Structure formats: structure tokens, C-alpha cells
Structure 1
Amino acid sequence: MIRVIIERYIAESMETTYDAQAREALRNAIDIPGFISGESLKDDHNPRHRVIVSTWRSTADWYRWYASSERREKIERIRPLLEADERITVLEYAVPTGNV
């Protein structure tokens, strides 16, 4: 399993519109092959800073989704709501989960 962290900074006055788009995207994510779970978080000190944490079966599953036309379409709807491009970090376990 891997975790993917996506950081986004929402343009001023676009929080409500962004939240609706993010909710829809997370609801649709359950149908994506390899997607396990996800959550959308708001920075307590900066309400326009949002972080999405998702869990995927493998890096191959994530990158397949990342490169898909479906994701590109979703991002094109979200991009006008952002102050800057999203920042993505893909994390894999440093220690195998069964050996701790």
C-alpha cells in the first residue's frame, strides 16, 4: 500500500465551490481500481490550505489514475479554484507493515 498526499491552496472566496468538487471526487473515487480510502482535510491555521490523503493498493494503481483522462477532466474543473498548482507527494512504507 501507498499513501498519496495532495496539497492545494484554494483561491479566495472559492472554498465552498472547491469543497463541493472535492466531495464529489471522493465519492467517485471508490470506483477507481486500486483506490482504498481517502479523506479531505482543512488546515486549522489556514482554511484555504487543503490536504487530501489517500491510500492506494500500489504505486502502479496511483500512477494509472494520475495519468488517466478522467482525472485530467476533474483537475481541469478544480484548477480555476486554486491559487497555485497542486503539490503531490507519493509515500510508501519505509518499514514493511508486517515487520514492526
Structure 2
Amino acid sequence: MMTVITEVTLERGSEPEWDAAMRERLAAARGRPGWVGGQLLIPLDGQNKRVVVGTWQSRADWQAWHEEGAFAETRTRMEGLQEGESAISWHEVVVEARGEPPA
């Protein structure tokens, strides 16, 4: 498995719109081949910053998702709300542990 971490800075005031688009993107990723899961994080020291953590079976699965129409549509909306370029880093998953989902 591979985890991709993307860090972005948003234009102030655009946070709710960007977050809504990311929720749509994560919902659309469900059921995609290779999708394992994802998280949208807000750093405590930057309310206009976001960290997206996505886990895929392979980098090729992630790349195929980026070529889908649903991804492209949210990309256009979201990039217009960001300041500068996003930073992406890849990590191989060595161990994954999760608790039971809440009842």
C-alpha cells in the first residue's frame, strides 16, 4: 500500500468551499479500484492550511483516479481556491492499524 500526503494553503475565506469540494472528492473515490481510505486534516497552527492523507493499494491506482472526470472537476474548483502550489509526498505503508468503527 501507498499513502500520499498533500499539503495546501488556501486563500483566506475559501476554506468552507474547498472543504466541501474535498468531501465530494473523497466520496467519489469510494469504490474506486485500489482506494483504501483518506483523511482531511486542518493543522492546529494554520486554519487556512489543509493536509490530505490518501491511502491506495498502489500509486498506479492513484494515478488512474486522477484521470477520472470526477477528480478533474473538483481539481479545477479547488486549485482556484489555493495559494501557490501544493506539496506532495509519498510513503510506503509498513503497518496499518485501525480501531473498530463507532457503533
Q: TM-score, normalised by structure 2?
A: 0.82
Q: TM-score, normalised by structure 1?
A: 0.84
Gapped regions of structure 2 (runs ≥ 5): 96-103
CA distance in 2, matches of 1:33, 1:69: 12
Gapped regions of structure 1 (runs ≥ 5): none
RMSD after superposition: 1.5
Structure with greater helix share of residues: 1
CA distance in 2, matches of 1:26, 1:34: 13
Residue correspondences, number = 94
Give 2:22's aligned residue.
22
Give 1:52's aligned residue.
52
Q: Once the 2 structures are TM-superposed, how far is the Cα of residue 73 of structure 1 from its aligned partner?
A: 2.6
Matches within 5 A, 1:45-84: 45-66=45-66, 68-70=67-69, 71-84=71-84
Q: Once the 2 structures are TM-superposed, how far is the Cα of residue 69 of structure 1 from its aligned partner?
A: 4.3
CA distance in 1, matches of 2:50, 2:3: 16
Q: Is the 8 A contact 2:36 2:57 kept in 1?
A: yes
CA distance in 1, matches of 2:11, 2:80: 8
Q: Once the 2 structures are TM-superposed, how far is the Cα of residue 31 of structure 1 from its aligned partner?
A: 2.6
SS of equivalent residue, structure 1 residue 61: helix
SS of equivalent residue, structure 2 residue 60: helix
Moved over 4 A (4+): none
Q: Once the 2 structures are TM-superposed, how far is the Cα of residue 24 of structure 1 from its aligned partner?
A: 1.1
Give 1:41's aligned residue.
41
